[in-house]
Structure 1
Amino acid sequence: MSEQHDSSCQCGHEHAEEKPTVRHISVSEPSKAPADVHIAANYLKDPSKSGMKQRYGVFNGKRFEYFKGKSAINALLKENYAKNTAKGRRAIATREEAHQLLLELGINGFILHVDRGESSGGKGTPKVLKPNQLQAINEDWYYMWIWEGSQIKLYIGAAALVATVLAAVMFPLWPAFLRLGVWYLSVGVLGLLGVFFGIAIIRLILFVITMFAVPPGIWLFPNLFEDVGIVDSFIPFWGWEEPKKKKSRTGTEAATVGEQSASEVVAEAAGEAAGEKED
Protein backbone atom coordinates (compact mmCIF):
# COMPACT_ATOMS: atom_id res chain seq x y z
CA MET A 1 0.00 0.00 0.00
CA SER A 2 2.80 2.37 0.87
CA GLU A 3 4.54 1.71 -2.45
CA GLN A 4 1.34 2.41 -4.35
CA HIS A 5 0.85 5.58 -2.37
CA ASP A 6 4.39 6.73 -3.09
CA SER A 7 4.05 6.04 -6.80
CA SER A 8 0.74 7.89 -6.97
CA CYS A 9 2.29 10.86 -5.18
CA GLN A 10 5.19 10.91 -7.60
CA CYS A 11 2.84 10.81 -10.58
CA GLY A 12 0.74 13.60 -9.14
CA HIS A 13 3.86 15.65 -8.51
CA GLU A 14 5.03 15.15 -12.08
CA HIS A 15 1.65 16.22 -13.47
CA ALA A 16 1.69 19.29 -11.25
CA GLU A 17 5.07 20.33 -12.62
CA GLU A 18 3.93 20.06 -16.26
CA LYS A 19 3.38 23.46 -17.91
CA PRO A 20 1.09 24.17 -20.83
CA THR A 21 2.97 24.37 -24.11
CA VAL A 22 3.00 27.77 -25.77
CA ARG A 23 3.05 27.92 -29.54
CA HIS A 24 5.31 30.71 -30.73
CA ILE A 25 4.72 32.37 -34.09
CA SER A 26 7.90 32.55 -36.13
CA VAL A 27 7.94 34.51 -39.37
CA SER A 28 10.64 35.58 -41.78
CA GLU A 29 11.64 39.06 -42.82
CA PRO A 30 9.56 40.46 -45.71
CA SER A 31 12.76 41.65 -47.37
CA LYS A 32 13.83 38.01 -47.79
CA ALA A 33 10.55 36.94 -49.38
CA PRO A 34 10.44 35.65 -52.97
CA ALA A 35 9.68 38.15 -55.72
CA ASP A 36 6.24 36.73 -56.51
CA VAL A 37 5.20 37.07 -52.86
CA HIS A 38 6.34 40.71 -52.88
CA ILE A 39 4.33 41.34 -56.03
CA ALA A 40 1.19 39.89 -54.46
CA ALA A 41 1.71 41.96 -51.29
CA ASN A 42 2.08 45.20 -53.25
CA TYR A 43 -1.03 44.37 -55.25
CA LEU A 44 -3.21 43.55 -52.24
CA LYS A 45 -2.05 46.57 -50.26
CA ASP A 46 -3.01 48.97 -53.06
CA PRO A 47 -6.84 49.37 -52.95
CA SER A 48 -6.90 51.07 -56.35
CA LYS A 49 -5.61 47.85 -57.94
CA SER A 50 -7.02 45.10 -55.74
CA GLY A 51 -10.33 46.79 -54.96
CA MET A 52 -10.11 45.62 -51.34
CA LYS A 53 -11.90 47.67 -48.70
CA GLN A 54 -9.51 49.51 -46.39
CA ARG A 55 -10.17 48.72 -42.75
CA TYR A 56 -8.23 50.02 -39.78
CA GLY A 57 -7.94 48.49 -36.35
CA VAL A 58 -5.97 49.19 -33.19
CA PHE A 59 -3.14 46.99 -31.95
CA ASN A 60 -0.90 48.06 -29.05
CA GLY A 61 -2.29 51.58 -29.30
CA LYS A 62 -1.40 51.96 -33.00
CA ARG A 63 -3.54 51.87 -36.11
CA PHE A 64 -3.04 48.93 -38.44
CA GLU A 65 -4.73 48.05 -41.69
CA TYR A 66 -6.47 44.68 -41.84
CA PHE A 67 -8.64 42.71 -44.25
CA LYS A 68 -10.80 39.62 -44.48
CA GLY A 69 -9.40 36.46 -46.02
CA LYS A 70 -12.23 36.14 -48.51
CA SER A 71 -11.59 39.64 -49.86
CA ALA A 72 -7.92 38.90 -50.50
CA ILE A 73 -8.65 35.60 -52.21
CA ASN A 74 -11.25 37.21 -54.47
CA ALA A 75 -8.79 40.00 -55.31
CA LEU A 76 -6.11 37.50 -56.35
CA LEU A 77 -8.59 35.78 -58.66
CA LYS A 78 -9.53 39.02 -60.45
CA GLU A 79 -8.24 39.94 -63.87
CA ASN A 80 -6.68 43.05 -62.32
CA TYR A 81 -4.08 40.84 -60.66
CA ALA A 82 -2.76 39.85 -64.08
CA LYS A 83 -3.10 43.35 -65.56
CA ASN A 84 -1.70 45.50 -62.74
CA THR A 85 1.23 43.39 -61.56
CA ALA A 86 4.74 42.75 -62.80
CA LYS A 87 5.72 39.89 -65.09
CA GLY A 88 7.25 37.90 -62.24
CA ARG A 89 3.88 37.34 -60.59
CA ARG A 90 2.59 33.89 -59.74
CA ALA A 91 -0.37 32.77 -61.82
CA ILE A 92 -3.46 32.22 -59.67
CA ALA A 93 -6.28 30.18 -61.20
CA THR A 94 -7.99 28.49 -58.25
CA ARG A 95 -8.95 29.39 -54.70
CA GLU A 96 -6.51 26.76 -53.41
CA GLU A 97 -3.63 28.56 -55.11
CA ALA A 98 -4.80 31.85 -53.64
CA HIS A 99 -4.95 30.19 -50.19
CA GLN A 100 -1.35 29.03 -50.59
CA LEU A 101 -0.14 32.48 -51.64
CA LEU A 102 -1.81 34.09 -48.62
CA LEU A 103 -0.20 31.47 -46.40
CA GLU A 104 3.21 32.41 -47.80
CA LEU A 105 2.44 36.07 -47.10
CA GLY A 106 2.01 35.12 -43.45
CA ILE A 107 5.12 32.93 -43.37
CA ASN A 108 7.23 35.73 -44.84
CA GLY A 109 6.06 38.31 -42.31
CA PHE A 110 3.61 40.35 -44.37
CA ILE A 111 0.34 39.55 -42.59
CA LEU A 112 -0.77 38.16 -39.24
CA HIS A 113 -3.95 36.32 -38.33
CA VAL A 114 -5.87 38.38 -35.76
CA ASP A 115 -9.15 38.28 -33.89
CA ARG A 116 -11.32 41.37 -34.18
CA GLY A 117 -12.68 42.65 -30.89
CA GLU A 118 -14.89 45.52 -29.82
CA SER A 119 -14.45 49.14 -30.83
CA SER A 120 -11.56 50.86 -29.09
CA GLY A 121 -13.42 54.03 -28.15
CA GLY A 122 -17.10 53.61 -28.84
CA LYS A 123 -19.22 53.55 -31.96
CA GLY A 124 -17.42 54.50 -35.17
CA THR A 125 -13.91 53.97 -33.79
CA PRO A 126 -11.44 51.30 -35.02
CA LYS A 127 -11.84 47.84 -33.54
CA VAL A 128 -9.24 46.20 -31.33
CA LEU A 129 -7.09 43.56 -33.05
CA LYS A 130 -5.59 40.65 -31.12
CA PRO A 131 -3.07 38.21 -32.67
CA ASN A 132 -4.23 34.61 -32.86
CA GLN A 133 -1.83 31.76 -32.08
CA LEU A 134 -3.23 29.70 -34.95
CA GLN A 135 -1.64 31.14 -38.07
CA ALA A 136 -3.57 29.61 -40.94
CA ILE A 137 -5.69 30.80 -43.85
CA ASN A 138 -9.45 30.88 -43.65
CA GLU A 139 -11.78 33.00 -45.75
CA ASP A 140 -13.79 34.08 -42.71
CA TRP A 141 -10.78 35.14 -40.61
CA TYR A 142 -9.13 38.55 -40.43
CA TYR A 143 -5.51 39.38 -41.20
CA MET A 144 -3.50 42.43 -40.19
CA TRP A 145 -0.78 43.99 -42.32
CA ILE A 146 2.45 44.05 -40.32
CA TRP A 147 4.37 45.07 -43.44
CA GLU A 148 4.30 48.80 -44.10
CA GLY A 149 4.89 48.54 -47.83
CA SER A 150 7.31 50.49 -49.96
CA GLN A 151 8.81 53.47 -48.15
CA ILE A 152 10.12 55.27 -51.25
CA LYS A 153 7.25 57.78 -51.37
CA LEU A 154 7.64 58.43 -47.65
CA TYR A 155 11.36 59.13 -48.03
CA ILE A 156 10.78 61.41 -51.02
CA GLY A 157 8.08 63.34 -49.15
CA ALA A 158 10.28 63.73 -46.08
CA ALA A 159 13.20 64.96 -48.20
CA ALA A 160 10.94 67.45 -49.99
CA LEU A 161 9.60 68.73 -46.67
CA VAL A 162 13.11 69.23 -45.27
CA ALA A 163 14.23 70.98 -48.46
CA THR A 164 11.20 73.31 -48.34
CA VAL A 165 11.85 74.25 -44.71
CA LEU A 166 15.54 74.89 -45.38
CA ALA A 167 14.71 76.99 -48.43
CA ALA A 168 12.26 79.10 -46.41
CA VAL A 169 14.73 79.58 -43.56
CA MET A 170 17.52 80.58 -45.95
CA PHE A 171 15.32 83.05 -47.86
CA PRO A 172 17.52 86.07 -46.90
CA LEU A 173 20.46 84.33 -48.59
CA TRP A 174 18.65 83.85 -51.88
CA PRO A 175 19.88 85.79 -54.93
CA ALA A 176 18.14 89.10 -55.52
CA PHE A 177 16.37 87.97 -58.70
CA LEU A 178 14.85 84.93 -56.91
CA ARG A 179 13.56 87.04 -54.03
CA LEU A 180 12.09 89.51 -56.52
CA GLY A 181 10.41 86.67 -58.39
CA VAL A 182 8.87 85.30 -55.19
CA TRP A 183 7.58 88.77 -54.34
CA TYR A 184 5.92 89.14 -57.74
CA LEU A 185 4.45 85.65 -57.42
CA SER A 186 2.97 86.37 -53.99
CA VAL A 187 1.50 89.66 -55.21
CA GLY A 188 -0.03 87.86 -58.19
CA VAL A 189 -1.63 85.19 -55.99
CA LEU A 190 -3.04 87.81 -53.63
CA GLY A 191 -4.37 89.73 -56.63
CA LEU A 192 -6.17 86.64 -57.95
CA LEU A 193 -7.72 86.02 -54.54
CA GLY A 194 -8.86 89.63 -54.40
CA VAL A 195 -10.47 89.36 -57.85
CA PHE A 196 -12.24 86.15 -56.85
CA PHE A 197 -13.71 87.64 -53.68
CA GLY A 198 -14.64 90.79 -55.60
CA ILE A 199 -16.57 88.75 -58.17
CA ALA A 200 -18.34 86.84 -55.40
CA ILE A 201 -19.46 90.08 -53.72
CA ILE A 202 -20.57 91.72 -56.98
CA ARG A 203 -22.59 88.68 -58.08
CA LEU A 204 -24.34 88.58 -54.71
CA ILE A 205 -25.26 92.28 -54.91
CA LEU A 206 -26.49 91.84 -58.49
CA PHE A 207 -28.64 88.86 -57.49
CA VAL A 208 -30.25 90.71 -54.58
CA ILE A 209 -31.13 93.65 -56.86
CA THR A 210 -32.49 91.52 -59.71
CA MET A 211 -34.39 89.25 -57.31
CA PHE A 212 -36.81 92.14 -56.71
CA ALA A 213 -36.47 93.90 -60.07
CA VAL A 214 -36.70 90.93 -62.44
CA PRO A 215 -37.52 87.83 -60.37
CA PRO A 216 -36.39 85.14 -59.86
CA GLY A 217 -33.05 86.94 -60.12
CA ILE A 218 -29.85 86.82 -62.17
CA TRP A 219 -26.57 85.24 -61.15
CA LEU A 220 -23.24 86.39 -62.55
CA PHE A 221 -21.17 83.27 -63.31
CA PRO A 222 -23.83 80.84 -61.99
CA ASN A 223 -21.35 77.93 -61.92
CA LEU A 224 -18.74 79.78 -59.88
CA PHE A 225 -19.18 77.61 -56.78
CA GLU A 226 -20.27 74.42 -58.53
CA ASP A 227 -18.18 71.25 -58.59
CA VAL A 228 -16.77 71.80 -62.08
CA GLY A 229 -13.45 72.69 -63.66
CA ILE A 230 -11.80 76.11 -63.47
CA VAL A 231 -12.84 77.11 -66.99
CA ASP A 232 -16.39 75.77 -66.60
CA SER A 233 -16.80 77.83 -63.42
CA PHE A 234 -16.93 80.98 -65.57
CA ILE A 235 -19.27 79.56 -68.23
CA PRO A 236 -21.90 80.90 -68.86
CA PHE A 237 -21.38 84.56 -68.05
CA TRP A 238 -24.83 84.93 -66.45
CA GLY A 239 -27.93 82.88 -65.79
CA TRP A 240 -31.36 83.01 -64.16
CA GLU A 241 -31.90 81.68 -60.66
CA GLU A 242 -33.28 78.18 -60.96
CA PRO A 243 -36.23 77.52 -58.63
CA LYS A 244 -35.82 74.60 -56.30
CA LYS A 245 -37.57 71.50 -57.52
CA LYS A 246 -40.23 70.11 -55.24
CA LYS A 247 -39.41 66.69 -53.93
CA SER A 248 -41.59 64.07 -55.50
CA ARG A 249 -43.41 61.70 -53.24
CA THR A 250 -41.68 58.47 -52.52
CA GLY A 251 -43.15 55.15 -53.55
CA THR A 252 -44.31 54.42 -50.01
CA GLU A 253 -46.08 57.77 -49.70
CA ALA A 254 -47.72 57.34 -53.12
CA ALA A 255 -48.89 53.86 -52.19
CA THR A 256 -50.30 55.18 -48.90
CA VAL A 257 -52.19 57.94 -50.71
CA GLY A 258 -53.49 55.40 -53.22
CA GLU A 259 -54.70 53.14 -50.45
CA GLN A 260 -56.41 56.06 -48.72
CA SER A 261 -58.20 57.15 -51.91
CA ALA A 262 -59.27 53.58 -52.63
CA SER A 263 -60.63 53.17 -49.12
CA GLU A 264 -62.53 56.46 -49.47
CA VAL A 265 -64.11 55.26 -52.73
CA VAL A 266 -65.14 51.97 -51.11
CA ALA A 267 -66.60 53.83 -48.13
CA GLU A 268 -68.59 56.14 -50.41
CA ALA A 269 -69.90 53.20 -52.42
CA ALA A 270 -70.93 51.41 -49.24
CA GLY A 271 -72.70 54.54 -48.01
CA GLU A 272 -74.61 54.92 -51.27
CA ALA A 273 -75.65 51.26 -51.17
CA ALA A 274 -76.91 51.63 -47.61
CA GLY A 275 -78.87 54.74 -48.60
CA GLU A 276 -80.53 52.92 -51.49
CA LYS A 277 -81.62 50.10 -49.17
CA GLU A 278 -83.17 52.58 -46.75
CA ASP A 279 -85.08 54.19 -49.62
Structure 2
Amino acid sequence: MSAVPAGPPGSGTVPINPSQRSPLIISVANFLKDNKILKQRTGLLNNTEEAEFFRFKRLQRALLSDEYKKQQKNPKYELIPIKDEEEANKIFLQLLSSQMIIPIDKLHYSEIKQVKGWKPNRSKPTLRPSKKASFEPNGYYVWNYNKPNPFILLYSFLFIAGVFAIILFPLWPMFMRIGVWYLSMGLLCLIGLFFLIAIIRLIIFAITYLVLPQAFWLYPNLFEDCSVIESFKPLYAWDQPKSSKKKSKKSKGGLSESSDSSTSATATGSDSTGSGSTTKRKVVLEEVDE
Protein backbone atom coordinates (compact mmCIF):
# COMPACT_ATOMS: atom_id res chain seq x y z
CA MET A 1 0.00 0.00 0.00
CA SER A 2 1.39 3.40 -0.94
CA ALA A 3 2.18 6.01 1.67
CA VAL A 4 -0.47 8.61 2.37
CA PRO A 5 0.38 12.10 3.59
CA ALA A 6 -0.82 13.09 7.02
CA GLY A 7 -3.98 15.13 7.32
CA PRO A 8 -4.36 18.51 8.96
CA PRO A 9 -3.64 18.86 12.68
CA GLY A 10 -6.43 17.51 14.86
CA SER A 11 -7.97 15.46 12.06
CA GLY A 12 -6.74 12.18 13.56
CA THR A 13 -5.41 10.97 10.20
CA VAL A 14 -2.33 8.75 10.43
CA PRO A 15 0.30 8.49 7.68
CA ILE A 16 1.10 4.96 6.54
CA ASN A 17 4.79 4.48 5.79
CA PRO A 18 6.00 0.91 5.34
CA SER A 19 9.08 0.06 7.37
CA GLN A 20 10.87 -2.98 8.68
CA ARG A 21 9.01 -5.02 11.28
CA SER A 22 10.74 -4.99 14.64
CA PRO A 23 10.77 -8.12 16.85
CA LEU A 24 8.91 -6.28 19.63
CA ILE A 25 6.06 -5.31 17.32
CA ILE A 26 5.91 -8.88 16.03
CA SER A 27 5.53 -10.06 19.64
CA VAL A 28 2.63 -7.65 20.14
CA ALA A 29 1.04 -8.83 16.89
CA ASN A 30 1.35 -12.46 18.03
CA PHE A 31 -0.52 -11.53 21.20
CA LEU A 32 -3.28 -9.72 19.31
CA LYS A 33 -3.71 -12.10 16.38
CA ASP A 34 -5.97 -14.65 18.09
CA ASN A 35 -7.08 -12.54 21.04
CA LYS A 36 -10.75 -12.90 21.97
CA ILE A 37 -11.06 -9.26 23.02
CA LEU A 38 -10.73 -8.16 19.39
CA LYS A 39 -13.92 -10.08 18.47
CA GLN A 40 -12.57 -10.63 14.99
CA ARG A 41 -14.86 -11.42 12.09
CA THR A 42 -14.16 -12.95 8.71
CA GLY A 43 -14.78 -10.81 5.64
CA LEU A 44 -13.97 -10.83 1.94
CA LEU A 45 -11.11 -8.47 1.13
CA ASN A 46 -11.67 -7.07 -2.36
CA ASN A 47 -14.68 -9.42 -2.57
CA THR A 48 -12.39 -12.44 -3.07
CA GLU A 49 -9.88 -13.14 -0.29
CA GLU A 50 -10.98 -14.11 3.22
CA ALA A 51 -9.47 -11.94 5.95
CA GLU A 52 -10.06 -11.29 9.66
CA PHE A 53 -10.97 -7.73 10.61
CA PHE A 54 -11.71 -5.85 13.84
CA ARG A 55 -12.45 -2.40 15.25
CA PHE A 56 -9.87 0.04 16.55
CA LYS A 57 -11.51 0.28 19.98
CA ARG A 58 -11.16 -3.49 20.41
CA LEU A 59 -7.44 -3.25 19.73
CA GLN A 60 -7.11 -0.59 22.42
CA ARG A 61 -8.97 -2.74 24.92
CA ALA A 62 -6.75 -5.74 24.18
CA LEU A 63 -3.56 -3.70 24.65
CA LEU A 64 -4.83 -2.25 27.95
CA SER A 65 -6.26 -5.53 29.24
CA ASP A 66 -5.11 -7.41 32.32
CA GLU A 67 -4.14 -10.35 30.14
CA TYR A 68 -1.63 -8.19 28.27
CA LYS A 69 -0.18 -6.85 31.53
CA LYS A 70 0.14 -10.38 32.88
CA GLN A 71 2.00 -11.63 29.81
CA GLN A 72 4.11 -8.48 29.65
CA LYS A 73 5.60 -9.33 33.04
CA ASN A 74 6.82 -12.64 31.62
CA PRO A 75 10.06 -12.02 29.67
CA LYS A 76 9.30 -15.02 27.46
CA TYR A 77 6.65 -13.07 25.51
CA GLU A 78 8.83 -9.95 24.99
CA LEU A 79 5.87 -7.54 25.12
CA ILE A 80 6.22 -3.78 25.29
CA PRO A 81 4.87 -2.22 28.52
CA ILE A 82 1.73 -0.15 27.92
CA LYS A 83 0.30 2.12 30.61
CA ASP A 84 -2.38 4.24 28.95
CA GLU A 85 -4.25 4.89 25.71
CA GLU A 86 -1.52 7.18 24.39
CA GLU A 87 1.04 4.37 24.49
CA ALA A 88 -1.51 1.97 23.01
CA ASN A 89 -1.99 4.40 20.12
CA LYS A 90 1.77 4.44 19.56
CA ILE A 91 1.77 0.65 19.27
CA PHE A 92 -1.14 0.97 16.86
CA LEU A 93 0.90 3.40 14.72
CA GLN A 94 3.83 1.00 14.64
CA LEU A 95 1.55 -1.84 13.54
CA LEU A 96 0.26 0.40 10.78
CA SER A 97 3.68 1.61 9.65
CA SER A 98 4.94 -1.97 9.43
CA GLN A 99 1.76 -2.86 7.48
CA MET A 100 0.84 -5.67 9.84
CA ILE A 101 -2.67 -4.22 9.91
CA ILE A 102 -4.35 -2.35 7.06
CA PRO A 103 -7.24 0.13 7.29
CA ILE A 104 -10.35 -0.96 5.43
CA ASP A 105 -13.87 0.16 4.64
CA LYS A 106 -16.80 -2.19 5.14
CA LEU A 107 -19.00 -1.72 2.11
CA HIS A 108 -22.77 -1.68 2.02
CA TYR A 109 -24.91 -3.45 -0.54
CA SER A 110 -25.24 -0.43 -2.82
CA GLU A 111 -21.48 0.24 -2.70
CA ILE A 112 -20.68 -3.36 -3.66
CA LYS A 113 -23.03 -3.17 -6.64
CA GLN A 114 -21.18 -0.12 -7.93
CA VAL A 115 -17.95 -2.11 -8.35
CA LYS A 116 -17.90 -4.11 -11.56
CA GLY A 117 -17.65 -7.87 -11.03
CA TRP A 118 -18.29 -7.78 -7.27
CA LYS A 119 -21.20 -9.66 -5.75
CA PRO A 120 -22.61 -9.21 -2.23
CA ASN A 121 -22.14 -12.09 0.18
CA ARG A 122 -24.81 -12.64 2.82
CA SER A 123 -22.62 -14.46 5.32
CA LYS A 124 -19.40 -12.42 4.97
CA PRO A 125 -19.12 -8.64 4.58
CA THR A 126 -17.16 -7.19 1.70
CA LEU A 127 -14.05 -5.19 2.63
CA ARG A 128 -12.02 -2.71 0.62
CA PRO A 129 -8.58 -1.33 1.59
CA SER A 130 -8.56 2.31 2.61
CA LYS A 131 -5.82 4.85 1.95
CA LYS A 132 -5.95 6.44 5.38
CA ALA A 133 -6.28 5.39 8.99
CA SER A 134 -7.62 7.25 11.99
CA PHE A 135 -8.16 6.90 15.71
CA GLU A 136 -11.90 6.53 15.31
CA PRO A 137 -13.19 3.87 17.74
CA ASN A 138 -15.33 2.19 15.07
CA GLY A 139 -12.64 2.22 12.39
CA TYR A 140 -12.07 -1.17 10.75
CA TYR A 141 -8.70 -2.85 10.23
CA VAL A 142 -7.67 -6.14 8.68
CA TRP A 143 -4.68 -8.33 9.44
CA ASN A 144 -1.83 -8.47 6.96
CA TYR A 145 0.18 -10.84 9.14
CA ASN A 146 0.11 -14.53 10.02
CA LYS A 147 1.64 -16.03 13.12
CA PRO A 148 4.59 -18.33 12.42
CA ASN A 149 3.92 -22.03 12.75
CA PRO A 150 5.93 -23.34 15.74
CA PHE A 151 6.24 -26.77 14.10
CA ILE A 152 7.52 -25.51 10.75
CA LEU A 153 11.11 -26.45 11.59
CA LEU A 154 10.06 -29.93 12.69
CA TYR A 155 8.02 -30.46 9.52
CA SER A 156 10.90 -29.25 7.38
CA PHE A 157 13.34 -31.60 9.10
CA LEU A 158 11.01 -34.58 8.72
CA PHE A 159 10.44 -33.79 5.04
CA ILE A 160 14.16 -33.54 4.31
CA ALA A 161 14.83 -36.73 6.29
CA GLY A 162 12.14 -38.56 4.32
CA VAL A 163 13.57 -37.41 0.99
CA PHE A 164 17.06 -38.54 1.95
CA ALA A 165 15.71 -41.86 3.24
CA ILE A 166 14.06 -42.57 -0.12
CA ILE A 167 17.12 -41.50 -2.10
CA LEU A 168 19.45 -43.65 0.01
CA PHE A 169 17.19 -46.72 -0.15
CA PRO A 170 19.85 -48.82 -1.97
CA LEU A 171 22.18 -48.23 0.98
CA TRP A 172 19.71 -49.51 3.57
CA PRO A 173 20.57 -52.70 5.44
CA MET A 174 19.12 -55.86 3.95
CA PHE A 175 16.67 -56.50 6.81
CA MET A 176 15.18 -52.99 6.42
CA ARG A 177 14.71 -53.42 2.69
CA ILE A 178 13.08 -56.81 3.23
CA GLY A 179 10.77 -55.27 5.84
CA VAL A 180 9.73 -52.49 3.46
CA TRP A 181 9.08 -55.05 0.73
CA TYR A 182 6.84 -57.15 3.00
CA LEU A 183 5.02 -54.02 4.18
CA SER A 184 4.34 -52.84 0.62
CA MET A 185 3.17 -56.32 -0.41
CA GLY A 186 0.84 -56.43 2.58
CA LEU A 187 -0.72 -53.08 1.65
CA LEU A 188 -1.15 -54.18 -1.96
CA CYS A 189 -2.84 -57.40 -0.81
CA LEU A 190 -5.26 -55.44 1.38
CA ILE A 191 -6.17 -53.14 -1.50
CA GLY A 192 -6.60 -56.10 -3.84
CA LEU A 193 -8.77 -57.91 -1.28
CA PHE A 194 -11.01 -54.88 -0.98
CA PHE A 195 -11.58 -54.70 -4.73
CA LEU A 196 -12.13 -58.47 -4.86
CA ILE A 197 -14.84 -58.25 -2.18
CA ALA A 198 -16.49 -55.39 -4.07
CA ILE A 199 -16.57 -57.41 -7.31
CA ILE A 200 -17.85 -60.58 -5.61
CA ARG A 201 -20.65 -58.75 -3.78
CA LEU A 202 -21.73 -57.11 -7.03
CA ILE A 203 -21.84 -60.48 -8.84
CA ILE A 204 -23.84 -62.08 -6.00
CA PHE A 205 -26.28 -59.17 -5.97
CA ALA A 206 -26.80 -59.35 -9.75
CA ILE A 207 -27.45 -63.12 -9.69
CA THR A 208 -29.82 -63.03 -6.72
CA TYR A 209 -31.62 -60.01 -8.16
CA LEU A 210 -32.51 -62.01 -11.27
CA VAL A 211 -33.20 -65.37 -9.60
CA LEU A 212 -34.57 -64.72 -6.12
CA PRO A 213 -37.45 -62.48 -5.05
CA GLN A 214 -35.05 -60.62 -2.76
CA ALA A 215 -31.51 -59.67 -3.74
CA PHE A 216 -28.65 -60.61 -1.44
CA TRP A 217 -26.07 -58.06 -0.30
CA LEU A 218 -22.69 -59.11 1.05
CA TYR A 219 -21.36 -56.40 3.39
CA PRO A 220 -24.24 -53.98 2.67
CA ASN A 221 -22.45 -51.05 4.37
CA LEU A 222 -19.20 -51.46 2.47
CA PHE A 223 -19.51 -48.14 0.62
CA GLU A 224 -21.57 -46.27 3.21
CA ASP A 225 -20.33 -43.14 4.95
CA CYS A 226 -19.21 -44.77 8.19
CA SER A 227 -16.11 -46.02 9.96
CA VAL A 228 -13.94 -48.87 8.68
CA ILE A 229 -15.24 -51.36 11.24
CA GLU A 230 -18.89 -50.42 10.64
CA SER A 231 -18.39 -50.89 6.88
CA PHE A 232 -18.11 -54.65 7.48
CA LYS A 233 -21.17 -54.84 9.74
CA PRO A 234 -23.50 -56.65 9.22
CA LEU A 235 -22.05 -59.51 7.21
CA TYR A 236 -25.05 -59.76 4.86
CA ALA A 237 -28.53 -58.37 4.30
CA TRP A 238 -31.52 -58.95 2.02
CA ASP A 239 -32.57 -56.14 -0.27
CA GLN A 240 -36.22 -55.20 0.07
CA PRO A 241 -38.02 -55.22 -3.31
CA LYS A 242 -39.85 -52.13 -4.49
CA SER A 243 -43.27 -53.81 -4.49
CA SER A 244 -42.98 -54.72 -0.82
CA LYS A 245 -41.87 -51.18 -0.05
CA LYS A 246 -44.99 -49.82 -1.75
CA LYS A 247 -47.17 -52.34 0.06
CA SER A 248 -45.65 -51.43 3.39
CA LYS A 249 -46.32 -47.77 2.70
CA LYS A 250 -49.92 -48.57 1.72
CA SER A 251 -50.40 -50.73 4.79
CA LYS A 252 -49.09 -47.94 6.95
CA GLY A 253 -51.48 -45.55 5.25
CA GLY A 254 -54.37 -48.00 5.72
CA LEU A 255 -53.52 -48.42 9.37
CA SER A 256 -53.45 -44.68 9.86
CA GLU A 257 -56.79 -44.31 8.06
CA SER A 258 -58.36 -47.12 10.09
CA SER A 259 -57.02 -45.63 13.29
CA ASP A 260 -58.43 -42.25 12.28
CA SER A 261 -61.81 -43.80 11.45
CA SER A 262 -61.85 -45.74 14.72
CA THR A 263 -61.01 -42.63 16.69
CA SER A 264 -63.71 -40.70 14.86
CA ALA A 265 -66.20 -43.53 15.50
CA THR A 266 -65.39 -43.59 19.17
CA ALA A 267 -65.72 -39.84 19.27
CA THR A 268 -69.16 -39.95 17.62
CA GLY A 269 -70.19 -42.80 19.90
CA SER A 270 -69.18 -40.85 22.93
CA ASP A 271 -71.07 -37.84 21.63
CA SER A 272 -74.18 -39.93 21.02
CA THR A 273 -74.02 -41.48 24.45
CA GLY A 274 -73.49 -38.07 25.92
CA SER A 275 -76.50 -36.69 24.08
CA GLY A 276 -78.60 -39.70 25.14
CA SER A 277 -77.69 -39.21 28.72
CA THR A 278 -78.71 -35.59 28.53
CA THR A 279 -82.14 -36.50 27.13
CA LYS A 280 -82.80 -39.01 29.90
CA ARG A 281 -82.10 -36.54 32.66
CA LYS A 282 -85.10 -35.32 34.67
CA VAL A 283 -85.38 -32.39 36.99
CA VAL A 284 -87.17 -33.08 40.27
CA LEU A 285 -88.32 -30.21 42.45
CA GLU A 286 -89.02 -30.79 46.11
CA GLU A 287 -90.67 -28.45 48.50
CA VAL A 288 -88.75 -27.77 51.67
CA ASP A 289 -90.51 -26.55 54.78
CA GLU A 290 -88.95 -23.48 56.25
Q: TM-score, normalised by structure 1?
A: 0.54
User: What residue in structure 1 maps to residue 101 of structure 2?
Assistant: 111
User: What residue in structure 1 maps to residue 16 of structure 2?
Assistant: 25
Task: Tell me the CA shift for residue 36 of structure 1.
Answer: 6.8
Task: Tell me the CA shift for residue 140 of structure 1.
Answer: 7.1
Listed as ranges, the matches of 1:188-199 within 5 Å are 188-199=186-197
Deviation by residue 1:154-183 (Cα, 9 ceiling, x = unmatched): 332222222111111111111111111111
Query: Relative to structure 1, is the Cα distance of residues 242 and 130 closer, same or farther in structure 2, using a 3 angstrom cutoff?
Result: farther
> Structure 2 residue aligned with 1:169, among 146, 167, 170?
167
User: What residue in structure 1 maps to residue 129 of structure 2?
Assistant: 130
8 Å CA contact 2:220–2:237 kept in 1: the answer is yes
Matched AA of 2:53? K
Task: Tell me the CA shift for residue 149 of structure 1.
Answer: 0.6
- Over the matched positions of the two proteins, sequence identity in percent amounts to 30
SS in 2 for 1:151: coil
Deviation by residue 1:73-110 (Cα, 9 ceiling, x = unmatched): 6xx99xxxx9xx9x739xxxxxxxxxx98995674354
Matched, 1:182 2:198: no
> Structure 1 residue aligned with 2:153, among 152, 155, 160?
155
- CA-based RMSD of the aligned residues comes to 5.0
Q: How many angstroms apart in 2 are the aligned matches of 1:54 and 1:167?
A: 42
In structure 1, runs of 5+ residues without a counterpart are 1-20, 45-49, 90-99, 247-279
* Structure 1, 223-232 or 233-242: larger mean CA deviation: 233-242
In structure 2, runs of 5+ residues without a counterpart are 7-14, 73-86, 121-125, 247-290
8 Å CA contact 1:69–1:138 kept in 2: the answer is no
- Return the structure number with greater relative CO, CA threshold 8 A, min gap 6: 2
Matched, 1:68 2:53: yes
Task: Tell me the CA shift for residue 226 of structure 1.
Answer: 1.5
Listed as ranges, the matches of 1:189-268 within 5 Å are 189-241=187-239
SS in 2 for 1:113: strand
Larger radius of gyration: 2
Listed as ranges, the matches of 1:24-63 within 5 Å are 24-26=15-17, 29=21, 31-33=23-25, 38-43=30-35, 54=42, 57=45
Task: Tell me the CA shift for residue 112 of structure 1.
Answer: 1.8
Matched AA of 2:52? F
Query: Relative to structure 1, is the Cα distance of residues 178 and 88 closer, same or farther in structure 2, using a 3 angstrom cutoff?
Result: same
| Equivalent residues, number | 205
